[in-house]
A and B are shown apart, each in its own frame.
Chain A
Amino acid sequence: MKLDIVVNAKKYSLEINPTIRLLDILRDHLNLTGAKEGCGEGECGACTVIMNGKTVNSCLVMASQINGKNIQTIEGLQNNGKMDRLQEKFVEHGAIQCGFCTPGMIMSSKALLRENSDPDDEAIKRGIEGNLCRCSGYVQILNAVKDASKTK
């Protein structure tokens, strides 16, 4: 089927098997490998991207569902080669270890901050409840998000 989508502010017109997953479109067709597959069933959040302003697990979204949608991935967060402040804060606070959860974690945090510009700890934890990190105890991630919310 023909899909017209906008990914990271770029328009794409794709002829695609409608049953494949958004994750596969991003990774295999658009070569955007930032979103990762950690579980394939929406439990780990490593494949999180933002679709029409809302985070989704791209492993659970079928191609046919994205027609006409606007999608933002981790690769689309930078602005003219400059990192988004959330990305900067993740780096600065040591919120990144193996990095496999990072793209999804940052996208969830991004969506959270768009809805709630001054989240407390509980709100941040709820905001990333669907993003698992095995390397940390989430402390640096929390600090990074908190800091990013303050330095606008």
Chain B
Amino acid sequence: MIEKNRYIGQTYPIQDAVAKACGEQIYAGDLKFPKMLHAKILFSTVAHAHIRSIDASKAEKLEGVVKIFTHLNSPEKKFNSYHFFAGQELKDDERLFTDKVRFVGDRVAGIVAETEDVAEKALGLIEVEYDELPAAVSTTQALCGDGPDIHEGGNLIDEKELNVGRANDIIKEAPLTFKDRVSTQKVHHGAMEPHVCLARYEMPDEMTLYTPCQSAFAVRNVVAQFLGINYCSLRVVKTTMGGSFGGKQHVILELIAAFLAKETKSNVRLCYSRTNAILSTITGTAMEMEMESAVNEEGMIVASKISAVVDSGSYLANSIDLSIAAGKKLFRTYNIPNLNYKAKTVYTNTPTSGGFRGWGAPQITTGFELHVESMARKLGMDSISFRLKNLVKPYDEERLNRFSLGNARIRECLTLGAEAFDWSKKRKKNRKKGRYARGTGLACGGHVNGFYGKIQDCSSMILKMNEDGSFILNTGSHDQGCGTVRSFMQIVAEVLDVDMQKVKVLEADTQRSPYDTGTFASRVTYVSGKCAYNVSLKIRNQILETAAKYFNRSKTYMAIKDGMVHVKGEPEKQIDFAHLATLSQSVYENEIIALETYSNVSNPGAYAAHFAEVEVDTQTGLVRVIDYLASHDVGKAINRGMVEAQIQGGVQMGIGYALTEEIKTDSAGYPKSKNFSDYHLINAPDMPTVKTLTLEFGEDDGPFGAKSVGEIAIVPVIAAVMNAVNDALGTNLCHAPLTPEKIIAAIH
């Protein structure tokens, strides 16, 4: 049908780039409503305690305070911020305002006031008395300590096991086994826009929530369920997203703001500070992993067993799901015939874990890639050839669920990436023996394309043609700031062969858009993009049918070119889209409109191999990443420039993850990283120029052969950097992040 792509594979700025460059794009925090009240939350200052008493009377007397809510006058009912679709089974363990605080940053009270200033003042007037309990700030303390349970039922929330073959027996009997312990830390997403939600109360009992979210339908699901509002009466509008990376995936502020708005029958704005965003939303999950593998004489990994401990933090959110997801992701990159994965999920008195870019994959990949590298080192094998003996091949079956991994090109990522990075030369280069140690590291990683095989994974879209031949694609999708809308514009314009500026894409609005599962699991381009593709095909067909009617010829004689339909072989017989649309409406009284509901049909792997060169100052322990290449199996790049930029962003986040970023608490659970002054993101001077290699081998079910890239971009980074540091120093440092302090302790 399409000979040469007009839009797909080109580079375009994000759709709203001009408004953003001019400071005119409106984010949720920029919105104002008449008679808008401001909410502030009082957060716990201790890590574990029963609230003995809470007295808000002084605060209530402050002029301008409208109402204050605590555990005493708010529902006892519990919720789970990850309850993102109806019918999902999940334990609810979190209250709006708690009577027992479980970490520093837990919600104790909510204040609604006429101004932010008054609300802030009122915070200081609420008197809380705590009966403090010992805090368990590590999973070991939570499991082995004699402190009180964080929730009823104990600190061990769940244990899961995934198994293929006889890994345990084989490892017991194998002559050659290797063992490593790796851990990854709690991290902050660091989206530049802190969390915010505006609830607009509408008489008599309806509400609109404006929120930068990853799923408006998830927000509706949690809020409407909890507050007992009809789904039809709760409108959730996704606003321009100032970055999320999983951080705005959970429904937290929306529920609080909606509750406060409903109770006060007012418009309420709730905006978190950076500190609140770091501590009191969700964090990237910390995991400890013990890895043991048996390798045969040919260098094949014949069996691996992994036991993991997942730190859920103080509430459950999605940690059990993550513990399984992380395990499953192990099966995507290496073809290991016997694999056993066990995970414990544990409550601790630390900030709650939740969604984060790669969700389980950065953790498990860091664990396994450090393990693979340490095995290669001990075996005296080359990093690349050892991996090539064990990596999956195109159309291999993932051994756990027997899904096809699709056109899995991790091998090409590795070999072509190594070539582009000049790996073997860099690897052999004499390391400067002296203060500055140089080293190289690489890592492979695999990720998903949606939820297929696990839970619902569908998108609906409505595409219609306007009287002037322009199009509106109504979606329930959410651009996270990486150009999803632009990609959809490209897809529609490509299929319809029309000027891209004549395609408008709408994002999620629960009262006006069709349903979409949301931005999770790297599903947007692969699943929703395919939906956009399919609905465009439907409209293309309707256009051809309408033209056939007009020209009184068979549809098969109709052809579309650049916004016109003509009769094949009779070039003078042509009609442009505008005339055709007008004709359809005014004469045939038919709207050119189509609805498509697309459910994902496969779950191929998205892959990447990353290569890092670092220089370590052995005196100060500071690491500089001096060269970096990210080689990706993207199927097909829809918007090339954005794909590259997104990969580079993943690397930036991953370097921070590997070296500097950590939400730390002291032994009493008091957080040590509360803002960007003590939670260091990698800034421009410390960032190498990341080179990207986008490999396009196509993928059967993706739109134009595309597959996911947003999450896989971070997956191998941490291990690549850590492997490079270990190469430079001759160490086997396995506990991220590799801070100067850890490095110095290891080498001196």
CA distance A6 to B433 in the complex (A): 58
B9, CB-defined interface residue at 8 Å: no
Chain B positions within 8 Å of A100 at CB level: 27, 191-193, 242-243, 481
Chain A positions within 8 Å of B685 at CB level: 122, 125-126, 129
Contact with A along B6-36 (1 / 0, CB 8 A): 0000011110111011111111011000000
Interface centre among A43, A77, A90, A130 (most CB of B within 10 A): A43
A75, CB-defined interface residue at 8 Å: yes
B193 and A43 form a contact (CB under 8 A): no
Q: Which of A77, A92, A134 contacts B191 (CB 8 A)?
A: A134
B651, CB-defined interface residue at 8 Å: yes
A119, CB-defined interface residue at 8 Å: no
Q: Which of the candidate stretches B167-175, B289-297, B573-581, B640-648 sits at the interface with the other chain? A: B640-648
CA distance A44 to B21 in the complex (A): 17
CA distance A99 to B645 in the complex (A): 13
Chain A positions within 8 Å of B676 at CB level: 38-39, 41, 43-44, 132
Interface bracket on A: 35 or more
B695, CB-defined interface residue at 8 Å: no
CA distance A74 to B22 in the complex (A): 6
Q: B681 → chain A, closest Cβ, in Å? A: 5
B693, CB-defined interface residue at 8 Å: no
CA distance A116 to B689 in the complex (A): 22
Instruction: Decide yes or no: A136 and B652 within 8 Å by CB, A34-B23, A78-B22, A91-B18 being known contacts.
Output: yes
Chain B positions within 8 Å of A128 at CB level: 683-684
B24 and A140 form a contact (CB under 8 A): no
Closest to B691 in A: A139
CA distance A34 to B25 in the complex (A): 8
B690, CB-defined interface residue at 8 Å: yes
CA distance A85 to B30 in the complex (A): 26
Q: B501 → chain A, closest Cβ, in Å? A: 15
Q: Which of A27, A41, A77, A94 contacts B645 (CB 8 A)?
A: A94
Interface centre among A77, A124, A129, A134 (most CB of B within 10 A): A134
Interface centre among B23, B24, B26, B653 (most CB of A within 10 A): B23
Q: Which of B26, B243, B677, B683 contacts A41 (CB 8 A)?
A: B677
Q: B242 → chain A, closest Cβ, in Å? A: 3
CA distance A99 to B414 in the complex (A): 33
Chain A positions within 8 Å of B649 at CB level: 97, 133-137
CA distance A41 to B524 in the complex (A): 35
A142, CB-defined interface residue at 8 Å: yes
Instruction: Decide yes or no: A132 and B683 within 8 Å by CB, A94-B11, A138-B652 being known contacts.
Output: yes
A67, CB-defined interface residue at 8 Å: no
B684 and A142 form a contact (CB under 8 A): yes
B274 and A39 form a contact (CB under 8 A): yes
Q: B278 → chain A, closest Cβ, in Å? A: 10
B645 and A91 form a contact (CB under 8 A): no
A98 and B23 form a contact (CB under 8 A): no
Q: Which of A43, A91, A97, A142 contacts B482 (CB 8 A)?
A: A97
A96, CB-defined interface residue at 8 Å: yes
B541, CB-defined interface residue at 8 Å: no
Q: B613 → chain A, closest Cβ, in Å? A: 15
B273 and A40 form a contact (CB under 8 A): yes
Q: Which of A33, A131, A136 contacts B23 (CB 8 A)?
A: A33
B481 and A135 form a contact (CB under 8 A): yes
Within B256-277, the residues touching A (CB, 8 Å) are 273-274
Q: B713 → chain A, closest Cβ, in Å? A: 10
B194, CB-defined interface residue at 8 Å: yes
CA distance A122 to B687 in the complex (A): 11
Chain A positions within 8 Å of B241 at CB level: 98
Q: A146 → chain B, closest Cβ, in Å? A: 12
Chain B contact surface mostly: loop
Instruction: Decide yes or no: A135 and B274 within 8 Å by CB, A39-B675, A39-B676, A100-B27 being known contacts.
Output: no
Q: Which of A35, A43, A126, A137 contacts B648 (CB 8 A)?
A: A137
Q: A69 → chain B, closest Cβ, in Å? A: 19
Q: Which of A36, A78, A103, A106 contacts B29 (CB 8 A)?
A: A36
Q: A6 → chain B, closest Cβ, in Å? A: 18
Q: A109 → chain B, closest Cβ, in Å? A: 11
A97 and B642 form a contact (CB under 8 A): yes
Chain B positions within 8 Å of A133 at CB level: 192, 649, 652
Contact with B along A17-57 (1 / 0, CB 8 A): 00000000001000011111111110110100000000000
Closest to B16 in A: A99
Contact with A along B621-652 (1 / 0, CB 8 A): 00000000000000000000110111011011
B190, CB-defined interface residue at 8 Å: yes
CA distance A40 to B273 in the complex (A): 7
B192 and A46 form a contact (CB under 8 A): yes
A58, CB-defined interface residue at 8 Å: no
B27 and A35 form a contact (CB under 8 A): no
A149, CB-defined interface residue at 8 Å: no
Closest to A127 in B: B684
A140 and B645 form a contact (CB under 8 A): yes
B716, CB-defined interface residue at 8 Å: no
Chain B positions within 8 Å of A113 at CB level: none
B600, CB-defined interface residue at 8 Å: no
B584, CB-defined interface residue at 8 Å: no
Instruction: Decide yes or no: A38 and B653 within 8 Å by CB, A97-B645, A99-B242, A134-B192 being known contacts.
Output: no
B274 and A98 form a contact (CB under 8 A): no
B240, CB-defined interface residue at 8 Å: yes
Closest to A99 in B: B20
A37 and B22 form a contact (CB under 8 A): no
Instruction: Decide yes or no: A75 and B677 within 8 Å by CB, A97-B642, A100-B243 being known contacts.
Output: no
Interface centre among A74, A75, A139 (most CB of B within 10 A): A139
CA distance A25 to B466 in the complex (A): 43
B327, CB-defined interface residue at 8 Å: no
B17 and A90 form a contact (CB under 8 A): yes
B480, CB-defined interface residue at 8 Å: yes
Chain B positions within 8 Å of A88 at CB level: 21
B245, CB-defined interface residue at 8 Å: yes
CA distance A32 to B30 in the complex (A): 9
A96 and B20 form a contact (CB under 8 A): yes
B483, CB-defined interface residue at 8 Å: yes
Closest to B189 in A: A134
B481 and A98 form a contact (CB under 8 A): yes
B23 and A91 form a contact (CB under 8 A): no
Instruction: Decide yes or no: A98 and B242 within 8 Å by CB, A35-B23, A83-B18, A92-B13 being known contacts.
Output: yes
Chain B positions within 8 Å of A39 at CB level: 194, 274, 675-676
Closest to A108 in B: B684
CA distance A134 to B192 in the complex (A): 7
A135 and B646 form a contact (CB under 8 A): yes
**Given A128-B683, A134-B649, 8 extra CB contacts under 8 A:** A96-B20, A99-B17, A100-B193, A125-B687, A126-B684, A131-B684, A137-B649, A138-B648
Contact sample, A vs B, 17 pairs, CB 8 Å cutoff = A33-B26, A34-B23, A38-B193, A41-B676, A90-B21, A92-B13, A94-B11, A94-B641, A96-B17, A97-B243, A101-B192, A102-B23, A106-B21, A122-B685, A125-B687, A131-B683, A137-B690
Which of A's residues lie within 8 Å of B, judged by CB? 27, 32-41, 43-44, 46, 73-75, 77-78, 83, 87-88, 90-92, 94, 96-103, 106, 121-122, 124-126, 128-142
Task: Give the top 5 A-B pairs by smallest Cβ distance, nearest first.
Answer: A34-B23, A98-B481, A137-B648, A99-B20, A74-B23
